[in-house]
Chain A
Amino acid sequence: EDKVVQSPLSLVVHEGDTVTLNCSYEVTNFRSLLWYKQEKKAPTFLFMLTSSGIEKKSGRLSSILDKKELFSILNITATQTGDSAVYLCTQGSNYKLTFGKGTLLTVNP
């Protein structure tokens, strides 16, 4: 069965710190790896990665996929309090997404 594991499960940092969130996956029929941000509402899409080694970037957030080692990382530089959220990693295959349990990031001022 498909499995997505995120680490750490929670993380507390100070504003301005850089954080790295990890996601490993074990899956058949892999098609994509996605990252979502969830505040106290619905998950919102951040990135979708399909090719190994190609970094996706949006402002202070970036993500990269390693298909050989079956993992992805999400980097957030110069963190702000507004980055506080649960970050969900999910893998897409067979028209479905399999989610990890998420990483709760808390950014303190």
Chain B
Amino acid sequence: NAGVTQTPKFRVLKTGQSMTLLCAQDMNHEYMYWYRQDPGMGLRLIHYSVGEGTTAKGEVPDGYNVSRLKKQNFLLGLESAAPSQTSVYFCASTPFLGSDTQYFGPGTRLTVL
């Protein structure tokens, strides 16, 4: 099992460009999450999904969109990147309702110039 994987690992964007971050898990987990981590801010939830075809907003959703067309994949999109979105992005998954233990991907370091 690869666990939770994220693509790409690093990316540099210019202001206004768009991109999609891909999270994939091969553990058949129901729930998936996108976080951003900034210095001194801890991990903040952007969006999450409780199953295929469903998504919900987290703590800091503005400027991001997500989709969960397949159970194993959770995509995070930035339509018009801004320097404030420079961050490290982590994807996580958890197997089922009642399980709070989340398994994290390796992260994507995004810089917006």
What's the A-B contact tally at a CB cutoff of 8 Å?
47
Name B's interface SS.
strand
Interface assignment of B60: CB less than 8 Å from any CB of chain A: no
Interface range on chain B (Cβ under 8 Å from partner)? 20 to 34
Footprint of B on A, CB under 8 Å? 31-32, 34, 41-45, 48, 88, 90, 92, 95-102
Interface assignment of B48: CB less than 8 Å from any CB of chain A: yes
Footprint of A on B, CB under 8 Å? 31, 33, 35, 40-45, 48, 50, 58, 90, 97, 100-107
Chain A residues contacting B33 (CB-CB under 8 Å) are: 96-97
> A102: shortest Cβ distance to chain B, in Å?
6
The interface centre, meaning the residue of B33, B42, B97 with most chain A CB atoms within 10 A of its CB, is B42
Chain B residues contacting A34 (CB-CB under 8 Å) are: 100-101
A34 to B105, CA, bound (A): 17
Is there contact, CB below 8 Å, between B40 and A101?
yes
Is there contact, CB below 8 Å, between A97 and B102?
yes
For B105, the closest partner residue in chain A by CB is A42
